[in-house]
Amino acid sequence: MNLSLHVVSDYKLAPAVPAAAPRGAELGDVVELVPAKDPSSSSAASSADAQPAEPQRETWSKKMDFLLSVVGFAVDLANVWRFPYLCYKNGGGAFLIPYTLFLFIAGIPLFYMELAVGQYHREGAATVWKICPVFKGVGYTVIAIALYVGFYYNVIIAWALYYLFSSFTNELPWLKCGNSWNSPRCTDPQLLNGSVLGNETFYSKYKITPAAEFYERGVLHLHESKGIQDLGPPRWQLTLCLALVIFVLYFSLWKGVKSSGKVVYITATLPYVVLLVLLIRGVTLPGAMDGIRAYLYIDLKQLGNPTVWIDAATQIFYSLGAGFGVLIAFASYNKFDNNCYRDALLTSVVNCVTSFFSGFAIFSVLGYLAFKHGAKIEDVATEGPGLVFIIYPEAIATLPGSTLWAIIFFIMLLTLGIDSSMGGMEAVITGLSDDFKVLKRNRKMFTTVVAFGTFLMALLCVTNGGIYVLTLLDTYAAGTSILFGVLIEAIGVSWFYGVDRFSEDIERMMGFKPGLYWRLCWKFVSPAFLLFVVITSIVTSGGLRYDDYVFPGWSNVVGWGVAMSSMLFVPGYAIYKFLTVPGTFKERLAYCITPEKEHHLVAEGSVRGFTVRIVNRKYLFGAI
């Protein structure tokens, strides 16, 4: 007998394979193992899959609370300071081709998957892995990453708050030289025209303008630090701003989604109002159309550059915010029959449209700044903090009514940052309180501990050399580690828990199964996409640097230590779980990869059975 055996299921794993060929098989036939649903398993699943009989879980007061919370988390500072520049740099409108492609084949499927997993199981990022216990370490990984991000992301919000307070003056402090923080080299921007810039120096890289010196010397006090080894004490002004940010976060979260769901009505909607106002003002400025044309210019030749595709892949991933445990946490407070499929489509598209729309508000003002200095758009275009804390403030400082425009702009940055930070902190609180019931019973106290701990760690980033610590955390805390976490998460759901089983869960919630497109994306496309991004992240990683400052070698070791401290939860917990469950090697393995609600079937030895069939002959044999 020449039989080829194929396991075609991702639903259950056979404990044994028949040693002999099944009766009726002939030479050359292909035998497949097809999942056989045990009646006892089905009945157990149907009873367990009903909404749990535990104390009723808190839910959102209104559907809009949930939608605004998801939009508020996904739409953050990167939508304003990163996407527009990437679009401009990578071929303008041509960049939208790979960006949109990755959105539909990976971004939205991962977004949908996390919402569905959280909503069905109604658990945080750690305890949701009762579906496949060996992967629970992934939950701890994303919780740790969300915590690490809070250590530095709240500092950026504190900078915006400091700028907001500094804007309440008749003349914005970053308009001219001659202030106490300015250096003797400070130069009036009017003197840095196109002829001075030449062909090799970008205006955005000049560190001697009033706006650049206000940011680096007036706010950060970077000139008082020699490097990451010389941090100095926390700056009291930034410490107070940071404390106020943490205070707002605490009172937004201490009562759970009942309180945070109300805050987002302001923090998630106000940025759209401000962006619209800034766009209307921006398009009326001289040179604005040049900036917008540069933003939208279609250069299809750029699509032949691998960097464009890499940038599109990483941007779509970070933009949607999958993998931080936030979407799982938010969805866990939904009603069981909520249509999370529609929510995933709506919020994902809103997020990406916001990124594209913000580019018009940004590049209209950059066009004006380039016109004012007689420079090219490429001379003033930049990304990151340099855009929102130097270039854009400098531009609005020259407008009539500059104080009002500055206040409006920094309020927008505050609201963009606050609700994203709320999401990250909620992921930590929900993830750990669901795992440790004592924390859930004392949520207010636990929220206090998380908020205060975040404040203490963030103090490292408000020192004289705090920008170096922030750069290190931004590079390593949520870089390769978050990509790794989501890759393992996608594998765990799609290959171990199983796409078929996952689709049945969705059908129980919403009355319909996901189509073939979604199942293929979850099982093959999304994991392949994530593997590509992980490999790219590792290959393209280099030594740390901030502008011209190159970090010492030991700081890269510390950075990888931070990254590994979260990633090691995955293998660490898997080993722990395998060693602590009872039974033989095979029984332990079965306990580790079988949903907890079916562990009694493992003990009975009747879990994960298969039916054998001969392909093309349609002979169906009994269950093993």
**Which residues does the annotation place in the binding site for Na(+)?**
72, 74-75, 79, 319, 351, 416, 419-420
Q: Are 210 and 176 in contact (CB under 8 A)?
A: yes
Listing from the earlier edge strand, what are the strands of the sheet with 619-623? 4-7, 30-35, 610-614, 619-623
Q: Are 214 and 181 in contact (CB under 8 A)?
A: yes
**Reduced to 3 states, what is the DSSP secondary structure of residue 541?**
coil
For residues 271 and 267, give the distance between their C-alpha atoms in angstroms, rounded to a whole number: 7
Strand 4-7 with 30-35, pairing = parallel
C-alpha distances out from residue 39 to 75, 119, 184, 514, 545, Å: 46, 26, 82, 24, 60
Q: Are 414 and 160 in contact (CB under 8 A)?
A: yes
- Cα-flanking dihedrals φ and ψ of residue 37, to 5°? -80, 110
Provide CB contacts within 8 A for 51, sequence distance 6+: 122, 336
How many Cα atoms occupy the beta-carbon half-sphere of 528 within 13 Å? 7
Rg (Cα) of the chain, in Å, rounded? 27
Q: How far apart are the first and last CA of the chain?
A: 20
Describe the crossing of helices 480-491 and 108-121 by its angle, rounded to 10 degrees: 60
Element holding 35 (H helix, E strand): strand 30-35
Element holding 123 (H helix, E strand): none
Describe the crossing of helices 340-373 and 270-282 by its angle, rounded to 10 degrees: 30
CA 244 to chain centre: 24
Q: Residues at the annotated binding site?
A: 72, 74-75, 79, 319, 351, 416, 419-420
For residues 117 and 60, give the distance between their C-alpha atoms in angstroms, rounded to a whole number: 17
Residue spans of beta strands (DSSP E) within 493-563 = 545-546, 549-550
C-alpha distances out from residue 497 to 69, 213, 444, Å: 28, 54, 34
Helices (H), 220-339: 236-253, 257-267, 270-282, 288-296, 306-320, 326-331
Q: Are 418 and 242 in contact (CB under 8 A)?
A: no
For residues 591 and 581, give the distance between their C-alpha atoms in angstroms, rounded to a whole number: 7
For residues 173 and 207, give the distance between their C-alpha atoms in angstroms, rounded to a whole number: 16
Strand 610-614 with 619-623, pairing = antiparallel
- Cα-flanking dihedrals φ and ψ of residue 34, to 5°? -115, 135
